[in-house]
Amino acid sequence: MEKINLAQKFNLFNEYWSPRIAGELNETHVKLVKLKGEFIWHHHEAEDELFWVVKGRLLIKFRDRDLWLDEGELVIIPKGVEHMPVAEEEVHLVLIEPKTTVNTGNVQNERTAPEQWI
């Protein structure tokens, strides 16, 4: 049982859109991810996702509206809801979601990331 210092962990990698698993509890993963640019439209069939911005400003596009998240803000995206994250500048994001969650959800393509611990 070691503590996780978020700033230190984020310093350990630079790749965008490639989540790193930092911890596990109750079949849930705590993931750190750096974002820059646009992701893809997708949804998760069975998993709600928590997005928590720890650095920068994130736009999450939904089919019916845009949501901006600043540092210290979070949102829970329910299963089935289509979304596309967009980061004009670099964003550091913590994701909390079931271990079964794939980053691209219902889509499988070159942006689908493997499981990686940090």
Q: Which spans of this chain sit near a second copy (rule: CB under 8 A)?
A: 1-7, 23-26, 28, 30, 47-50, 54, 62, 67, 69-70, 72-78, 81, 96-98
The pairs formed by 51-54 with CB atoms below 8 angstroms and a separation of 24 or more are: 51/75, 51/76, 51/77, 51/85, 51/93, 51/94, 51/95, 52/93, 52/94, 52/95, 52/96, 53/91, 53/92, 53/93, 54/6, 54/10, 54/92, 54/93, 54/94
Nearer to a second copy, 72 or 114 (CB): 72
User: What is the smallest separation between the CB atom of 56 and a second copy, expressed in angstroms?
Assistant: 15
Phi, psi (degrees; rounded to nearest 5) at 43: -145, 170
Nearer to a second copy, 94 or 109 (CB): 94
Nearer to a second copy, 25 or 110 (CB): 25
User: What is the smallest separation between the CB atom of 69 and a second copy, expressed in angstroms?
Assistant: 6
Nearer to a second copy, 74 or 111 (CB): 74
User: What is the smallest separation between the CB atom of 110 and a second copy, expressed in angstroms?
Assistant: 28
User: What is the smallest separation between the CB atom of 83 and a second copy, expressed in angstroms?
Assistant: 10
Identify the CA nearest to 102 among candidates 37, 17, 25: 17
